[in-house]
A and B are shown apart, each in its own frame.
Chain A
Amino acid sequence: MTVISTTPDAQARTLTVLAEFPAQPKAVWQLWADPRLLERWWGPPTWPATFREHDFTVGGEAKYHMTGPAGERSNGWWRFLTLDEPHALEFEDGFADEQGNPNPAMPTATARVDIAEIPSGTRMTITMRFGSAEDLEKMVEMGMAEGMALAVGQIDEILAAA
Chain B
Amino acid sequence: MVVGQRDADRVFAALADATRRDIVARVLRQEASVSTLARQYDMSFAAVQKHVAVLERAGLVTKERRGREQLVRGDIDTIRRVRELLRQYEDVWRGRIDRMHDLLTQSGEDTR
Contacts and interface: CB of A to CB of B under 8 A. Distances in A.
A136 B90 CA distance: 11
Name which of B15, B79, B97, B98 has the most chain A CB atoms within 10 A of its CB: B97
A150 B91 contact: yes
Which secondary structure dominates where chain B touches chain A? helix
Interface residues on B, range: 20 to 34
Which secondary structure dominates where chain A touches chain B? mixed
A23 B97 contact: no
Given A21-B100, A146-B95, A11 B79 contact: yes
23 contacts: A8-B89, A8-B90, A15-B89, A17-B94, A19-B97, A19-B101, A22-B111, A23-B112, A31-B103, A41-B100, A42-B96, A133-B11, A133-B12, A133-B85, A134-B5, A136-B86, A137-B85, A140-B92, A143-B89, A143-B92, A146-B91, A150-B91, A150-B95
Interface of A: 2, 4, 6, 8-11, 13, 15, 17, 19, 21-24, 27-28, 31, 37, 40-42, 44, 120-121, 126, 128, 132-134, 136-137, 139-140, 143, 146-147, 149-150
A134 B9 contact: yes
Contacts of B99: 40-41
B57 interface: no
A150 B93 CA distance: 12
